[in-house]
């Protein structure tokens, strides 16, 4: 049985690796790999579900491996399987199979044919890991993979401006969700004094008692989880990223934003129900978010005049209803609703280009010029207001831009006076001294100076803000990112027992990423006149290899699960002491902006409209 | 354009804007046209390179690509030499050969457009486009929407600006962020000039600013200009003008500037680095352009030489004449019918085929049963006075529950989502494993009910609906039939059965389906025209009048209308159940022959389709082709006009038995029946506008698919049922998608006319509009002397004798081998794609005439 579980995640990984070895024009091999992978996974999931139902639907759990273990923290991979996992694995593998067959012909001769399948299989890995994960660490692993593959597929048409712009925008929302999830894991970790194992949490009476004793903490954890779920499932106030994510080929929009990725929020809520159920308010929060979303996105859906946005907003509205069902405790209905919504939206997306001929034909025969609008019974002023608001998506895009990201950018720019060699040297010296002091003096002596770790954390934040708003030197930006990461590490180790393994895990990833990144940037710089951060350059057109190398180094830098930084990061987060919420907030912010700053560099240098125009380049507006 | 004018002339600027913006209509009216038609009054190369310098379009292939094609022997060395000698003289040959083959040039384009307006970013670090466009597009799309949204934009009868004003004044919120702009919007005394003054400042910059502005989203600006001038391109009337759009956009820009920059900005002309530039002032030519001209000419003539050789060889071949013609079939000139004609001639060696524009000379509007609107069924520039109505059949409108709009509501949506959601599991399996026709697929045969009746014969000239006469009078009918038959040279030897074969195309999931239908029928299936023409030609009184004019059609001859679906390779016959038993017997046999021809046609097409194995059983191929046209996952149901490059006007004799690889528009014309060229003018009239339009649209979409084409189809989103855009924030994308132009070699159309050069010259000069195409070399034309078989090439306003470089034309005796062994492109780069286009062959077997 274990072998079946392991194959659920190993098969997609194998498929992904195999799909890497082919050349772009070997379409049959590439799509064949994906089709075989998804159908095998579908087979395994079906067998598992049948088996599961035959043993009276008792949840199954396995401990696979401990990647890292210390007295306080254990990073392990666990599997947990219940009806929720069963339904999600079946739907995910079924729809992925459909998409991999559909895309075989649909994506034929696309210059990114291989890239599409690579990213799609990467996503499939993430999805499978997520839905059978047995603990928060494993879940977060899948969650992160889904996030990055989303980014890569939104920016699939990497030689145009809008996909890149929107990919970065969607990413900025995803980061809110990621950090909310990571913070809730941190809270859980400290509250329950153990890693959260989904199997154990259901029966752990000690944990229940603990939860009941700390209603505030539980409420915070619940809110963080709800935020994470709302972000991923396009609920208010985050909904507006959803239509903006539809930049990839129709098939990827279908699987991500019609079917699977968008329902991971639903999954998260169902999976963490044993945690948030102890907070009396959380159900109400979920119900309110769901209700508000379904009403508002329905309004927005009604005024949409494009085929895909209409689908995506009405899907968000249905997910709002699923949230309500979850909040009310009707989990089986929620599951059923998920299956229906996922399949319906996939279908609608796939046939959305047909709406042109179908609806024109339909109008040709059934147009009614006197048809009333859906709210004609309301007073005119209310109608107009609602209509206008819906067209403007209730101003949410503007509000996020103006009141969320712009202030941070302004803040970042206000630190630009630090962009000079002197302060850089100063930071460097500070960092080295910090390290030396830390190594020479036993930690116990320093632990009382919590403010030192705060200072380091604030420096890390400032540095990352500078890096994020840097407009000229890409090398400087990359350097500031690395420095920021090192300060981040310093600030956390300052308040904790010295552990060389933790530090070296983290350092090796960060420094490795730094050197690989700087190498590829310098290579490109030596061949091109300009590489500034002021505009998109699209250098991937001429330098696809450096682009790939830099992307990999970026992923390492942000702690994507291909580098030891990932484990290091998790540990470091876990190491933030419970009473240091301030430090957590600062670190969380740093962490949000880190990924934006790193991928911004990647986007600005390698993606977007190519600065050279000797070949066809798209208009900026297309 | 003259920027020295002291007064900015708004009307003139708006007029020029509309002239230079894309002029593609809504996708339901897809009509091919020259993408760079604003430059058509200049010579081809001058026009395209100027367009390139002004707007940044790529006008030819890259130098590198041409050189690769040369290395692959696709461009012939001796042709390059000849072109250089013609253009530069033989003394300069060596010098130019080096330039053409070896020298390096900077091919980067720095267009004039958007040099001024981009200062917002340079000076104030503000990205106005990103802040204004998304909302602007959404408002425009919602206003123009033809039936996607459930809640329509509240429309004011006075148009776009008035509607926005009314919506704003009724509402508690606003599209605009600042109070100042909100009040400016409502102030009717504020004109566009006032807005330009606050935003731009110096009047001299207005025109440049407006061009920069409109071309920052040329798709939307273009369609609005088109709708303003042709409101009929929308099913549901919407009043809008380019001026209204600019007015609203300027307000939004002002609003954004105030919101983002407060008071810390000045009108843009205050920080201008350059004086205003005249976008359309002459451009400097460069050596690179000369080199590209030589390459493009060489690429074209490397192919044309082969064609001319082929025709020369072929027309001198001995051909046996069939004594009894069993049937005649008249097809559209469309190059996709070129292969079907070849195959039916092979299967039924006693038949005769003709080609003519697929509206068959009958122009009218068509109103199906139960329809609320009517369709125009004739070439786009024609505005008919006739209406044909369908009656005596049931409504052929079917609905698809999956497109039911309640899906998008909340409460109904909940119930429907659960119900439909679960059934969509089945639907998903079905569209993948068992594709079949459904109401959501665009079906060429659903255009008209097969068993309906048509109001072809006018009962009374007072029978008027919507200002159109219902049906044609006897005289009107006989005129049309006479002109048509005379045009194609079919005035005697009528066979007992004459098929009028229109064409249409069925395809699934394809917003550009109109581009695959008949261009001569305004981008719609031509079945109604075929039926109308046949009803006319079968009418006894019409026959009587024709006889008086000298065309004697035997009473036993029957015209049978049919339609060929070019995607699924199916032919449907109409009005064939009331014919004599004797005729019916023959008809049955002929139908069988057509089935065999369609099998061959399917096989020929399948060689370009990666998903179909050309080696398998021919019936399986046919089945696969049919399935392809109803497959949702198939972005290439057919390849449309891709590869078109020739238009041959003359007797079938000169091309029969020649393998032209579906690249030729074939228009039948017999110079012997029209020695003084009276009818030739009619025949030639649509060649430029229809065939030339198709050819140049393919040319430009091929050389710059992302600017002049609409890029790959896969991320397209249907916008308001009027066009497509990438995702949600993108500009509308006119032009053709990648999937349609892949196999196309970007060469200009070569028109070959079988007539005396002086008659051809007289004919093309008979209309200025027609002459422009040839004079400015947007199309090449060659006259083939019908008696000497010499060729005359038209350049610099004269026909000159063309010395054909003799080339051996290969012959083949088995087309199956040809299709089975033809190469398939590895990538869609021109260096691979072009080898899918096969050389000219003579087909050895079965030549008869």
Claim to verify: residue B228 and residue B133 sit in the same structural domain: yes
Domain membership of residue B628 (yes or no) is no
List the one residue out of A320, A16, A42 whose CA is nearest residue B425: A42
* Per-residue pLDDT band at B355 (split at 50, 70, 90): very high
Residue A71 has pLDDT above 70, yes or no: no
* Closest residue on chain B to A242 (Cα): B728
Report the residue of A245, A353, A394, A618 to disrupt the B interface, i.e. the one with the largest count of B CBs within 10 Å. Answer: A353
Residue A41 burial class via C-beta count within 10 angstroms: exposed 0-12, middle 13-18, buried 19 and up: buried
Contact B115, B277 (CB under 8 A): yes
CA distance A259 to chain B (A): 11
- In this predicted structure, what is the pLDDT of residue A185? 85
The structure tokens 């004011």 sit at B156
- d(C-alpha B118, C-alpha A621), whole Å: 13
* Per-residue pLDDT band at A299 (split at 50, 70, 90): very high
Q: pLDDT digits over B43-65, tens only? A: 999 999 999 999 999 999 999 99
- d(C-alpha A561, C-alpha A567), whole Å: 8
Q: What percent of chain B has pLDDT over 70?
A: 98
* Closest residue on chain B to A160 (Cα): B706
CA distance B441 to chain A (A): 7
* Closest residue on chain B to A354 (Cα): B509
Q: pLDDT digits over B714-724, tens only? A: 999 999 999 99
- d(C-alpha A356, C-alpha A183), whole Å: 45
Poorest-confidence range of A169-183, A425-439, B418-432?
A: A425-439
Within 8 A of A620 by CB-CB distance, chain B residues are 129, 216
- d(C-alpha B763, C-alpha B761), whole Å: 5
Domain membership of residue B690 (yes or no) is no
Q: Using the Cα atoms of residue A27, residue A28, residue A31 and residue A34 in order, give the sign of their dihedral.
A: negative
- In this predicted structure, what is the pLDDT of residue B405? 75
Residue B848 has pLDDT above 50, yes or no: no
Give the other-Cβ count within 10 Å of A284's Cβ.
11
Residue that terminates a domain, selected from B304, B329, B347: B304
- In this predicted structure, what is the pLDDT of residue B419? 83
List the one residue out of B773, B782, B772, B776 whose CA is nearest residue B750: B782
- d(C-alpha B487, C-alpha B668), whole Å: 8
Residue B321 has pLDDT above 80, yes or no: no
Average pLDDT for B277-298: 93
SS (H, E, C) B54-100: HHCCCCCCCHHHHHHHHHCCCCCHHHHHHHHHHHHCHHHHHHHHHHH
Judged by CB atoms closer than 8 Å, whether chains meet at A359 and B235 is answered as: no
List the one residue out of B376, B535, B540, B346 whose CA is nearest residue B447: B376
Poorest-confidence range of A329-343, A467-481, A567-581, B101-115?
A: A567-581
Contact A91, A127 (CB under 8 A): no
Within 8 A of B130 by CB-CB distance, chain A residues are 165
Domain membership of residue B28 (yes or no) is no
- In this predicted structure, what is the pLDDT of residue B412? 78
- In this predicted structure, what is the pLDDT of residue B111? 93
* Per-residue pLDDT band at A602 (split at 50, 70, 90): very high
* Per-residue pLDDT band at B849 (split at 50, 70, 90): very low
Claim to verify: residue B93 and residue B180 sit in the same structural domain: no
Give the other-Cβ count within 10 Å of B108's Cβ.
10
The structure tokens 């038959």 sit at B485
Nearest to A384 among B167, B442, B712 (CB): B167
Contact B776, B41 (CB under 8 A): yes
Judged by CB atoms closer than 8 Å, whether chains meet at B509 and A343 is answered as: no
Q: 367-396 in B: which are within 8 Å (CB) of A? A: 368, 370-373, 395
Q: pLDDT digits over B16-25, tens only? A: 999 999 999 9
Question: What are the b/e assignments for A225-251, b being 16+ CB within 10 Å?
Answer: bbbbbbbbbbbbbbbbbbbbbbbbbbb
Average pLDDT for B297-323: 85
Could you tell me if residue B222 is left (phi over 0), alpha (psi between -120 and 50 degrees) or otherwise beta?
A: alpha
Contact B812, B843 (CB under 8 A): yes
List the one residue out of B595, B807, B701, B676 whose CA is nearest residue B34: B701
Strand B664-668 to strand B791-795: parallel, antiparallel, or no bridges (unpaired)?
unpaired
Nearest to A354 among B107, B441, B727 (CB): B441
Judged by CB atoms closer than 8 Å, whether chains meet at B152 and A363 is answered as: no
Within 8 A of B633 by CB-CB distance, chain A residues are 101-106, 350
Claim to verify: residue B90 and residue B126 sit in the same structural domain: no
Judged by CB atoms closer than 8 Å, whether chains meet at A102 and B718 is answered as: no
Within 8 A of B56 by CB-CB distance, chain A residues are 613
Q: pLDDT digits over A577-586, tens only? A: 666 778 888 8
Average pLDDT for B748-769: 95
Is B135 touching A (CB cutoff 8 A)?
Answer: yes
Claim to verify: residue B294 and residue B409 sit in the same structural domain: no
Average pLDDT for B744-750: 96
Give the other-Cβ count within 10 Å of A50's Cβ.
10
Specify the DSSP element, H or E, that contains B391.
strand B386-391
**Radius of gyration over every alpha carbon of chain B, rounded to an integer in angstroms:** 28
Is B610 touching A (CB cutoff 8 A)?
Answer: yes
- Decide which of B30 and A435 is more confident: B30
Q: pLDDT digits over B485-539, tens only? A: 999 999 989 999 999 999 999 999 999 998 999 988 988 999 999 999 999 999 9
Poorest-confidence range of A125-134, A317-326, B81-90, B836-845?
A: B836-845
Contact A21, A62 (CB under 8 A): no
Judged by CB atoms closer than 8 Å, whether chains meet at A621 and B414 is answered as: no
Domain membership of residue B810 (yes or no) is no
Which residues touch B571 (CB under 8 Å, ≥6 apart)? B501, B562, B563, B564, B565, B594, B598
Average pLDDT along chain B:
91
Which residues touch A11 (CB under 8 Å, ≥6 apart)? A37, A40, A41, A44
Poorest-confidence range of A59-73, B79-93, B227-241?
A: A59-73
**Radius of gyration over every alpha carbon of chain A, rounded to an integer in angstroms:** 24
H-type alpha helices, B607-745: 618-628, 680-686, 693-703, 738-741
- In this predicted structure, what is the pLDDT of residue A283? 92
Specify the DSSP element, H or E, that contains B659.
strand B658-659
* Per-residue pLDDT band at A544 (split at 50, 70, 90): very high
- In this predicted structure, what is the pLDDT of residue A499? 65
Average pLDDT for B543-567: 95
Q: pLDDT digits over A234-244, tens only? A: 998 999 999 99
Which residues touch A286 (CB under 8 Å, ≥6 apart)? A226, A269, A323, A324, A326, A327
Which residues touch B808 (CB under 8 Å, ≥6 apart)? none
* Per-residue pLDDT band at B2 (split at 50, 70, 90): very low
Specify the DSSP element, H or E, that contains B559.
strand B558-565
Q: In the beta sheet, which residues pair with residue B600?
A: none
- In this predicted structure, what is the pLDDT of residue A442? 56
Is B719 touching A (CB cutoff 8 A)?
Answer: yes
Going from the C-alpha of B4 to that of each of B14, B113, B209, B277, the distances in angstroms are 18, 19, 16, 10
Please give the interface size between A and B, counted as residue pairs whose CB atoms are below 8 Å apart.
352
Residue B676 burial class via C-beta count within 10 angstroms: exposed 0-12, middle 13-18, buried 19 and up: exposed
* Per-residue pLDDT band at A276 (split at 50, 70, 90): confident
Residue A287 has pLDDT above 90, yes or no: yes
Judged by CB atoms closer than 8 Å, whether chains meet at A374 and B418 is answered as: no
Report the residue of A105, A305, A335, A350 to disrupt the B interface, i.e. the one with the largest count of B CBs within 10 Å. Answer: A305
What is the three-class DSSP state of A338? helix
- d(C-alpha B199, C-alpha B209), whole Å: 10
Claim to verify: residue B122 and residue B267 sit in the same structural domain: yes
Poorest-confidence range of A130-139, A302-311, A501-510, B587-596?
A: A501-510
Judged by CB atoms closer than 8 Å, whether chains meet at A105 and B721 is answered as: no
Average pLDDT for B207-228: 95
State the Cα angle at A31 between B615 and A9, rounded to 5°: 150
H-type alpha helices, B614-730: 618-628, 680-686, 693-703
Domain membership of residue B748 (yes or no) is no
Q: pLDDT digits over A93-138, tens only? A: 999 999 999 999 999 999 999 999 999 999 999 999 999 998 888 8
Claim to verify: residue B229 and residue B249 sit in the same structural domain: yes
Report the residue of B168, B401, B424 to disrupt the A interface, i.e. the one with the largest count of A CBs within 10 Å. Answer: B424
List the one residue out of B409, B412, B138 whose CA is nearest residue A317: B409
Domain membership of residue B848 (yes or no) is no
ipTM value for the complex: 0.93
Judged by CB atoms closer than 8 Å, whether chains meet at B706 and A618 is answered as: yes
Report the residue of B130, B442, B448, B509 to disrupt the A interface, i.e. the one with the largest count of A CBs within 10 Å. Answer: B509
Poorest-confidence range of A446-460, B168-182, B356-370?
A: A446-460
Claim to verify: residue B69 and residue B153 sit in the same structural domain: no
Claim to verify: residue B352 and residue B221 sit in the same structural domain: no
**Omega cis (within 30) before A237:** yes
Structural domain range at position B240: 10-19+113-271
Claim to verify: residue B217 and residue B166 sit in the same structural domain: yes
Average pLDDT for A299-310: 94
- In this predicted structure, what is the pLDDT of residue B536? 96
Reading the block at residue A505, the tokens are: 């895990």
- In this predicted structure, what is the pLDDT of residue A405? 82
Claim to verify: residue B487 and residue B411 sit in the same structural domain: no
- d(C-alpha B547, C-alpha B191), whole Å: 65
Within 8 A of B149 by CB-CB distance, chain A residues are 302-305, 310
What is the three-class DSSP state of B203? helix
Is B401 touching A (CB cutoff 8 A)?
Answer: no
Question: What are the b/e assignments for A589-609, b being 16+ CB within 10 Å?
Answer: bbbbbbbbbbbbbbbbbbbbb
Give the other-Cβ count within 10 Å of B555's Cβ.
7
Contact B314, B88 (CB under 8 A): no
Domain membership of residue B844 (yes or no) is no
Average pLDDT for A161-165: 93
Report the residue of B635, B714, B744, B836 to disrupt the A interface, i.e. the one with the largest count of A CBs within 10 Å. Answer: B714
Judged by CB atoms closer than 8 Å, whether chains meet at B154 and A352 is answered as: no
Q: In the beta sheet, which residues pair with residue B371?
A: none
Q: 498-517 in B: which are within 8 Å (CB) of A? A: 508-511, 513
Domain membership of residue B91 (yes or no) is yes
- Decide which of A278 and A570 is more confident: A278
Q: pLDDT digits over B371-414, tens only? A: 899 999 998 888 999 999 999 887 667 788 777 777 777 777 78
Claim to verify: residue B231 and residue B161 sit in the same structural domain: yes
Nearest to B726 among A104, A162, A339 (CB): A162
Claim to verify: residue B186 and residue B211 sit in the same structural domain: yes
Judged by CB atoms closer than 8 Å, whether chains meet at B711 and A622 is answered as: yes
Phi, psi dihedrals of residue B495, rounded to the nearest 5°: -85, 170
Judged by CB atoms closer than 8 Å, whether chains meet at B410 and A343 is answered as: no
Contact A572, A456 (CB under 8 A): no
Which residues touch B500 (CB under 8 Å, ≥6 apart)? B330, B360, B530, B533, B534, B537, B559, B560, B561, B562
User: HSE on the CB side for A73, CA within 13 Å?
Assistant: 26
Query: B279-283 long-range contacts, Cβ below 8 Å, gap at least 24?
Result: B279/B1, B279/B54, B279/B112, B279/B113, B279/B208, B279/B211, B280/B1, B280/B54, B281/B1, B283/B49, B283/B50, B283/B53, B283/B54
* Per-residue pLDDT band at A561 (split at 50, 70, 90): confident
* Per-residue pLDDT band at B3 (split at 50, 70, 90): very low
Judged by CB atoms closer than 8 Å, whether chains meet at B135 and A314 is answered as: no
- In this predicted structure, what is the pLDDT of residue A445? 47
Judged by CB atoms closer than 8 Å, whether chains meet at A306 and B148 is answered as: yes
Reading the block at residue B25, the tokens are: 């209509």
What is the count of structural domains for chain B?
4
């Amino acid at each position: 049985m274990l072998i079946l579980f392991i194959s659920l995640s190993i098969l997609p990984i194998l498929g992904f690796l195999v799909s890497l070895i082919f050349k772009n024009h070997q379409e049959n091999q590439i799509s064949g790999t994906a089709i075989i992978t998804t159908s095998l996974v579908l087979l395994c999931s079906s067998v598992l579900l049948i088996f599961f139902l035959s043993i009276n639907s008792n949840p199954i759990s396995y401990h696979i491996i401990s990647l890292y273990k210390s007295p306080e923290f254990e990073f392990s991979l666990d599997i947990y399987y219940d009806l929720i996992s069963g339904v999600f694995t079946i739907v995910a593998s079924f729809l992925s199979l459909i998409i991999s067959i559909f895309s075989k012909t649909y994506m034929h001769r696309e210059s990114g044919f291989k890239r599409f399948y690579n990213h799609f299989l990467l996503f499939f890995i993430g999805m499978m890991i997520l839905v059978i994960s047995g603990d928060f660490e494993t879940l977060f692993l899948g969650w992160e993979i889904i996030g990055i593959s989303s980014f890569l597929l939104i920016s699939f048409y990497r030689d145009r401006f809008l996909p890149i712009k929107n990919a970065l925008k969607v990413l900025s929302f995803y980061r809110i969700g990621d950090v909310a999830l990571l913070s809730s894991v941190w809270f859980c970790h400290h509250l329950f004094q153990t890693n959260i194992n989904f199997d154990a949490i259901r029966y752990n009476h000690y944990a229940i008692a603990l939860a009941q004793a700390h209603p505030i903490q539980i409420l915070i954890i619940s809110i963080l989880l709800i935020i994470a779920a709302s972000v991923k499932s396009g609920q208010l106030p985050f909904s507006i990223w959803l239509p903006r994510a539809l930049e990839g080929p129709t098939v990827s929009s279908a699987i991500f934003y019609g079917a699977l990725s968008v329902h991971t929020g639903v999954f998260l809520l169902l999976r963490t129900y044993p945690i948030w159920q102890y907070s009396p308010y959380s159900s109400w929060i979920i119900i309110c978010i769901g209700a508000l979303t379904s009403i508002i996105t329905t309004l927005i859906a009604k005024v949409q005049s494009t085929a895909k946005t209409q689908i995506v907003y009405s899907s968000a509205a249905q997910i709002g209803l699923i949230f309500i069902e979850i909040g009310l405790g009707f989990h089986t209905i929620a599951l059923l609703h998920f299956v229906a919504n996922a399949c319906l939206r996939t279908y609608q997306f796939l046939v959305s280009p047909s709406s042109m001929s179908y609806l024109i034909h339909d109008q040709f025969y059934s147009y009614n010029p006197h048809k009333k609008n859906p709210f004609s019974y309301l007073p005119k002023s209310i109608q107009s207001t609602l209509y206008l608001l819906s067209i403007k998506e209730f101003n949410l895009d503007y509000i996020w831009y103006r009141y969320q990201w712009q202030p941070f950018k302004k803040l970042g720019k206000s630190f630009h006076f630090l962009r000079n060699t002197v302060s850089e040297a100063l930071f460097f010296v500070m960092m080295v001294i910090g390290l030396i002091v830390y190594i020479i003096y036993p930690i116990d002596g320093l632990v009382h100076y919590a403010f030192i770790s705060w200072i380091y954390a604030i420096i890390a934040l400032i540095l990352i803000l500078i890096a994020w708003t840097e407009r000229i030197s890409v090398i400087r930006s990359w350097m500031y990112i690395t420095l920021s990461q090192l300060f981040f590490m310093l600030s956390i180790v300052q308040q904790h027992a010295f552990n060389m393994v933790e530090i070296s895990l983290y350092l090796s990833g960060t420094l490795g990423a730094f050197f690989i990144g700087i190498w590829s940037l310098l290579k490109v710089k030596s061949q091109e006149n300009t590489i500034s951060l002021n505009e998109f350059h699209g250098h991937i057109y001429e330098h696809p290899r450096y682009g790939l190398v830099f992307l990999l180094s970026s992923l390492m830098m942000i702690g994507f699960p291909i580098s030891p930084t990932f484990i290091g990061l998790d540990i470091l987060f876990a190491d933030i002491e419970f009473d240091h919420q301030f430090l957590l907030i600062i670190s969380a912010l740093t962490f949000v902006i880190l990924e934006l700053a790193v991928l911004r560099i990647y986007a600005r240098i390698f993606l977007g409209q190519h600065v050279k125009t000797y070949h066809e380049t798209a208009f900026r507006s297309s | 354009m003259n920027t020295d004018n002291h007064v900015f002339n708004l009307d003139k600027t708006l007029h020029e804007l509309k002239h230079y913006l894309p002029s593609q209509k809504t996708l339901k009216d897809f009509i091919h046209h020259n993408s760079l038609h604003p430059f058509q009054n200049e010579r081809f190369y001058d026009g395209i390179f100027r367009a390139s310098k002004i707007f940044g379009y790529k006008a030819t292939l890259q130098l590198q690509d041409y050189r690769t094609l040369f290395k692959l022997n696709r461009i012939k060395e001796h042709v390059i030499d000849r072109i250089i000698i013609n253009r530069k003289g033989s003394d300069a040959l060596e010098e130019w050969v080096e330039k053409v083959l070896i020298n390096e040039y900077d091919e980067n384009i720095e267009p004039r457009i958007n040099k001024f307006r981009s200062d917002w970013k340079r000076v104030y670090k503000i990205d106005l486009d990103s802040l204004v466009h998304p909302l602007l597009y959404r408002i425009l799309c919602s206003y123009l929407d033809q039936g996607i949204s459930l809640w329509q934009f509240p429309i004011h009868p006075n148009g776009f600006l008035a509607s926005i004003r009314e919506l704003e004044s009724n509402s508690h919120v606003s599209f605009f962020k600042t109070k100042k702009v909100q009040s400016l919007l409502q102030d009717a005394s504020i004109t566009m000039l006032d807005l330009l003054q606050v935003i731009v400042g110096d009047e001299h910059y207005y025109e440049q600013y407006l061009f920069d502005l409109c071309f920052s989203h040329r798709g939307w600006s273009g369609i609005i200009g088109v709708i303003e001038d042709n409101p009929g391109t929308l099913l549901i009337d919407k009043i809008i003008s380019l001026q209204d759009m600019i007015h609203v956009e300027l307000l939004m820009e002002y609003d954004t500037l105030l919101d983002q920059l407060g008071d810390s900005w000045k009108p843009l002309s205050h920080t201008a680095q350059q004086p205003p530039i005249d976008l359309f002032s002459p451009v400097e030519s460069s050596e690179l352009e000369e080199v590209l001209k030589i390459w493009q000419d060489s690429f074209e003539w490397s192919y044309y030489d082969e064609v001319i050789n082929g025709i020369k060889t072929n027309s001198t071949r001995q051909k046996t004449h069939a004594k009894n013609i069993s049937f005649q079939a008249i097809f559209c000139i469309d190059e996709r019918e070129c292969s079907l004609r070849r195959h039916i001639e092979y299967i039924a060696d006693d038949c005769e085929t003709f080609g003519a524009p697929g509206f068959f000379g009958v122009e009218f509007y068509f109103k199906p049963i139960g329809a609320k609107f009517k369709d125009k069924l004739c070439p786009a520039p024609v505005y008919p006075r006739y209406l044909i109505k369908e009656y005596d059949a049931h409504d052929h409108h079917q609905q698809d529950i999956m497109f039911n709009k309640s899906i998008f509501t909340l409460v109904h949506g909940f119930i429907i989502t659960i119900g439909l959601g679960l059934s969509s599991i089945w639907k998903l399996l079905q569209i993948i494993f068992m594709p079949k026709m459904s109401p959501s697929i665009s079906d060429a045969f659903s255009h008209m009910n097969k068993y309906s009746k048509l109001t072809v014969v006018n009962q009374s000239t007072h029978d008027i609906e919507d200002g159109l006469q219902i049906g044609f009078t006897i005289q009107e009918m006989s005129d049309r039939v006479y002109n048509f038959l005379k045009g194609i040279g079919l005035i005697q030897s009528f066979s007992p059965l004459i098929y009028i074969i229109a064409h249409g195309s069925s395809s699934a999931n394809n917003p550009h389906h109109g581009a695959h239908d008949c261009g001569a029928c305004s981008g719609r299936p031509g079945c109604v025209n075929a039926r109308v023409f046949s009803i006319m030609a079968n009418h006894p009184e019409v026959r009587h009048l024709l006889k008086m004019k000298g065309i004697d059609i035997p009473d036993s001859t029957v015209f049978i209308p049919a339609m060929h679906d070019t995607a699924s390779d199916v032919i449907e016959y109409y009005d064939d159940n009331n014919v004599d038993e004797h005729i019916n017997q023959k008809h049955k046999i002929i139908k069988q022959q057509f089935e065999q021809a369609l099998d061959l046609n399917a096989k020929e097409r399948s060689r370009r389709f990666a998903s179909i194995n050309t080696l398998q059983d021919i019936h399986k191929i046919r089945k696969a082709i049919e399935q392809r046209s109803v497959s949702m996952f198939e972005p290439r149901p057919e390849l449309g006009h891709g590869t078109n490059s020739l238009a041959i006007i003359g007797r079938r004799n000169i091309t029969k038995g020649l393998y032209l690889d579906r690249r030729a528009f074939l228009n039948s014309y017999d110079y012997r029946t029209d020695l003084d060229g009276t009818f030739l003018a009619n025949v030639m009239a649509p060649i430029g506008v229809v065939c030339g339009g198709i050819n140049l649209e393919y040319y430009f979409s091929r050389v710059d698919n992302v600017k002049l084409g609409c890029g790959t189809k896969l991320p397209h989103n249907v916008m308001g049922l009027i066009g497509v855009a990438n995702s949600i924030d993108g500009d509308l994308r006119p032009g053709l998608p990648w999937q349609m132009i892949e196999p196309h070699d970007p060469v200009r159309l070569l028109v070959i006319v079988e007539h005396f050069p002086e008659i051809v010259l007289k004919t093309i000069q008979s209309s200025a509009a027609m002459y422009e195409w040839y004079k400015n070399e947007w199309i090449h034309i060659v006259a083939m002397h019908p008696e000497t078989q010499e060729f005359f090439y038209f350049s610099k306003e004269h026909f000159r004798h063309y010395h054909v470089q003799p080339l051996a034309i290969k012959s083949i005796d088995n087309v199956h081998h040809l299709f089975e062994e033809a190469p398939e492109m590895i990538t869609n780069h021109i260096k691979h794609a072009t080898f899918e286009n096969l050389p000219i062959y003579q087909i050895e077997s079965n030549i008869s005439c």
